[in-house]
Amino acid sequence: MSPFTPRHFAFLMALGVAGNVSATSAIEPVLRPEDTPALEADAVEDSHPATNWLEAQVELARRGFSSGSIDGVRGAQSVAALRAFQRGAGLEETGELDALTAENLLLSTPALTEHVFTAEELDQLQPVGATWLEKSEQTALAYATALESAAEHYHSSPKFLKKLNPKIDWDAIKPGTVIQVPAVDRVTLSGRAVRLQIRLAAHELEATDETGRVIAHLPVSIARNVEKRPVGELHVTVVIPNPNYTFDPEVFPESPEAKELGRKLIIQPGPNNPVGVAWIGLDRSGYGIHGTPDPEKVGRTESHGCFRLANWDARTLLNLAWTGLPVSVEP
């Protein structure tokens, strides 16, 4: 995997993506090395202030301030992540990528890089069953498509990856296919979390250290029904990576299939497991913080009672959570 070089960044500047403009339309062209103009190697420094929302989203994600799915667009979750970063940096919480904020949000490496599909990762793809019974009969709930796999691996919106790679036939990916992706992978944070705070109205979860510093900010989905939102003081009881899932028909009274089955089913681990790649259980029966196979829905009011994170954010939280960790749930 080779990094997105300074020459590529200069090309983005020429397109307008590196200025204070929306990255949505400017990022349409194919971003391939052979398409970029020849520039001097020192034309752009590797480390520079974030100058657009794509760069901001990538660097924020690297530091544990998740904007949800990276898409290069100023949205509510990106603004919330930037405000959390500003608060931690002692800046005014404007939610805007102003000059002072950009100076404090230096990119350690370019915002884009390349991914090369391997035969191994493509061989692991498998369709996900449409029914609970079909899911229970699978050996794993793996990624269903190459697009889904790449989007989740790089914290991205599938639509955004399609814009970055408009000439890619996503239904015919072969080993060796090269795509452009945001340069953010698994996030490992320093510091020890001493408390998790979930703000229901804001749809956000934050982990703080002993000084009160925010070390992780993550968008979260909450229960659809108000009575299923556990406001108050809770604690983590168990931390499980790659969990299986027990389908209980009583939890899904609205499901015709659940009524017909009338029995519990075990769903095997995988990113398309109903609780994704992580389960952080809480000391209220049936409640926990977990991943989801639908990261584009995170931040909405749509769960049955638990707190849902994008799988990449659930992995980040796994490294911070510990048995007994206090969790404050605020209205």
DSSP letter string, 59-105: HHHHTTB--SSB-SS--HHHHHHHHHHHHHTT-----S--HHHHHHS
pLDDT at residue 303, as a whole number: 64
> How far is 243 from 290, CA to CA, in rounded Å?
10
> How far is 5 from 256, CA to CA, in rounded Å?
53
> How far is 194 from 196, CA to CA, in rounded Å?
7
Q: What is the C-alpha R_g of the chain? A: 21
Cα of first residue to Cα of last residue in the chain, in angstroms, is 44
DSSP letter string, 293-317: S-GGGTTSEEESSSEE--HHHHHHH
Give the Cβ contact number of residue 162 at 10 Å. Answer: 14
Helix (H, G, I), strand (E, B) or coil at 136: helix
Tell me the C-alpha to C-alpha distance, in Å, between residue 195 and each of 88, 210, 314: 16, 8, 16
Nearest partner of 270 among 296, 245, 251, judged by Cα: 245
Amino acid identity, residue 149? S
pLDDT at residue 239, as a whole number: 98
pLDDT means per 10 residues, the chain with 331 residues, are 40 33 29 30 61 97 97 97 95 96 95 98 97 96 98 97 98 98 93 96 96 96 79 96 95 89 96 97 93 91 80 97 97 92
- The pTM (predicted TM-score) of the whole model is 0.84
Strands 288-290 and 307-308: parallel
Which secondary structure element, helix H or strand E, spans residue 56, and what is its range? helix 53-62
> How far is 246 from 197, CA to CA, in rounded Å?
27
pLDDT at residue 229, as a whole number: 83
Token duo for residue 94? 């404007």
* Apex 200 CA angle, 198 and 204, nearest 5: 55
Helix (H, G, I), strand (E, B) or coil at 115: strand
> How far is 94 from 90, CA to CA, in rounded Å?
12
> How far is 314 from 326, CA to CA, in rounded Å?
17
pLDDT at residue 24, as a whole number: 29
pLDDT at residue 232, as a whole number: 92
Nearest partner of 329 among 169, 222, 193, judged by Cα: 222
pLDDT at residue 7, as a whole number: 37
What residue has token string 């949000």? Answer: 105
pLDDT at residue 320, as a whole number: 97
Domain positions in the chain are: 6-111
Q: What is the DSSP letter of 208?
A: E
